[in-house]
Chain A
Amino acid sequence: MMDSIQAVRNAVPASPASPDVWMYVAGVEFVLLVFVCVRLLLLRGRCRPEREKVKERILREGDVDFSNVIDSSFKAKALYDGLKKVCHPDRFAGDGRLAAKATEIFGLLVRHKHDYAALRGLKERAECELGVKIEEE
């Protein structure tokens, strides 16, 4: 009766005491791999083309206000239609100061006609500066 380890020792011929070549090969491969990884990590910033820099800059610009996009899709048109009637400069033709303010507000209205948040700000400004009352639908 012999244990299994002893049985294996008896069955497998003893290897010569020479160094294992494959161990050295694996060691060299590992060193090469580490070298390539370190080099890639170090050079990544320097080798990046201009295109990547533009892309990173744009992605860092800040989060998109999706809530305003959704609101604008359904509410901006009605608010813009209401504001453009009430704030039209022709309605303030008799008063030069108000007409100038109305012209400025009307220009901003046209520029921000698809931006609900900006339109709400302009509505408050129109109510304050032009003294008009705007009913939002």
Chain B
Amino acid sequence: MLLENTWNRVVEWFKDRSERGRLVRSFNETAREAFVSGQAPTALKASISRGLPAYRHEFSAWMNTGFRIQALAGRELTKAEIVFIGEVVLANETLVRRLVVLGWDTLEVHGDHGRYGCRWCLADYANIGKFIE
């Protein structure tokens, strides 16, 4: 049983890693296309960050648990703009649930100028039930 559990964990880790990379790449490709085609005035860039240990949950990966969205606006974003981008992500329940089960526990949004950004605990918006504490 121990061997089976270890095997499952190893397989799961590789699968998660692949899925996480695919999700970030997919987000970045869509954001780039939207920016190049003029649909979006600002380019968004997703990346993986360290995350906040206080936001850990049942599905959290053991490291790099932050999903960071950087708005490459070339200026300091207002708090309302940052909060709105975060709320758009949090309002998309499919995306939030996927982020949570893939090991992310923190959503970070900030611009490329200025020193301020916002963080949210993804587990609060996932609505997965008893597995998120």
Contacts and interface: CB of A to CB of B under 8 A. Distances in A.
Contacts of A97: none
Which size bracket describes the interface of B in this complex?
A: 35 or more
B8 A61 contact: no
B12 interface: yes
Given A40-B4, A70-B39, A71-B40, A54 B128 contact: yes
Interface stretch (A13-21, A26-34, A72-80, A127-135): A72-80
Interface string B59-101: 1000000000000000000000000110111111011011011
B39 A71 contact: yes
A22 interface: no
B42 interface: yes
A90 interface: no
B4 to A, nearest CB: 5
B3 A64 contact: no
B85 A73 contact: yes
B78 to A, nearest CB: 12
B94 to A, nearest CB: 6
A52 interface: yes
A77 B95 contact: no
A40 B27 CA distance: 35
A62 B95 CA distance: 10
9 smallest CB-CB distances across A and B, nearest first, come from A114-B91, A66-B30, A55-B101, A72-B88, A70-B34, A114-B88, A64-B95, A73-B85, A58-B101
A44 interface: yes
A77 B86 CA distance: 13
A58 B97 contact: yes
A67 B42 CA distance: 14
A100 B104 CA distance: 42
Contacts, number: 88
Interface of B is mostly: helix
B123 to A, nearest CB: 13
22 contacts: A44-B4, A44-B8, A47-B1, A55-B59, A55-B101, A58-B101, A62-B94, A64-B23, A64-B95, A64-B98, A67-B30, A68-B92, A69-B89, A70-B30, A70-B39, A71-B39, A73-B44, A73-B88, A76-B84, A77-B84, A113-B91, A114-B88
Given A67-B30, A72-B88, A73-B85, A40 B40 contact: no
Nearest to B30: A66
A43 to B, nearest CB: 6
Interface in A22-64: 36, 39-40, 43-44, 47-48, 51-52, 54-55, 58-59, 61-62, 64
